[in-house]
């Protein structure tokens, strides 16, 4: 850091504050956002979960549909269960995965999960819908991308939808209001042989 006098510091901070205030004042639009978390790093599902928790805390109703078993498990379920009026959690992907090696079955699981997402998007009682790991299903062509994009584009105006998973289709990112890429800088699993631990991975 460059050394600054107290006065210089104060002047700089005042400028920052004023710039920040101007930006906030210029933001007047309220709308349902399409949010995409992608990339190979950690935190895609976890950050979505954090948004769900915030929405719950504000008394909103959230639908969570899990396309692939794994990322969201017992830890968050206990917390969701404490707010039964606010969260509908559908772990549809229990039947999905490399375990089955059955493409037709995986496609059926993906279709069922997607129909649940569509139902929640159409249902006015839901403020937010999380389609967890939908990108993975799209990556394997288990659902038609066009149908997914059309449904998301036609969603009710105030409905927030969060889509997670690596390899988000570019067309989905293009449509998104907010897209974040989680990039791996360092990972203990690979480098140190650390196993999954409660509160970190599940």
Q: Which of residues 15-34 bind a second copy (CB under 8 A)?
A: 16-17, 20, 23-24, 26-31, 33
Nearest to residue 113, comparing CAs of 159, 151, 85, 58?
A: 151
- The answer to whether 171 contacts a second copy (rule: CB under 8 A) is no
What is the C-alpha to C-alpha distance for residues 125 and 72, in angstroms, rounded to an integer? 23
Among residues 125, 146, 154, 195, which is the contact residue for a second copy, using CB under 8 A?
A: 195
Q: Compute the residue count for the chain.
A: 202
Distance CA 96, CA 57 (A): 31
Which among 44-52, 110-118, 146-154 is the span making contact with a second copy, rule CB under 8 A? 44-52
Residue 43 is a binding residue for a second copy (CB under 8 A): yes
Q: How far is the CB of 156 from a second copy (least distance, A)?
A: 15
CB of 200 to a second copy, least distance (A): 6
* Contacts of a second copy in 47-106 (CB under 8 A): 47-58, 60, 62, 74-79, 82-83, 98-104
Contact 63, 128 (CB under 8 A): yes
Question: Can you tell me which residue has the tokens 């569509």?
Answer: 118
């Amino acid at each position: 850091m460059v050394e600054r006098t107290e006065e210089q510091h104060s002047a700089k901070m005042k400028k920052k504050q004023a710039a920040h205030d101007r930006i906030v004042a210029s933001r007047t639009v309220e709308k349902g956002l399409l949010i995409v978390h992608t990339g190979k790093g950690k935190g895609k599902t976890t950050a979505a979960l954090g948004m769900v928790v915030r929405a719950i805390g504000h008394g909103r109703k959230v639908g969570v549909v899990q396309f692939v078993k794994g990322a969201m498990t017992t830890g968050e379920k206990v917390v969701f269960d404490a707010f039964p009026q606010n969260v509908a959690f559908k772990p549809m992907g229990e039947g999905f995965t490399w375990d089955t090696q059955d493409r037709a079955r995986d496609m059926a699981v993906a279709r069922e999960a997607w129909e649940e997402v569509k139902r929640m998007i159409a249902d006015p009682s839901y403020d937010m819908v999380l389609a967890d790991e939908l990108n993975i299903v799209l990556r394997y062509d288990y659902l038609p991308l066009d149908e997914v994009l059309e449904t998301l584009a036609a969603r009710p105006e105030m409905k927030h939808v969060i889509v997670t998973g690596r390899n988000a289709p570019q067309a989905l990112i293009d449509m998104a209001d907010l897209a974040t890429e989680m990039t791996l800088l360092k990972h203990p699993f690979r480098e140190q042989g650390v196993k999954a631990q409660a509160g970190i991975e599940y």
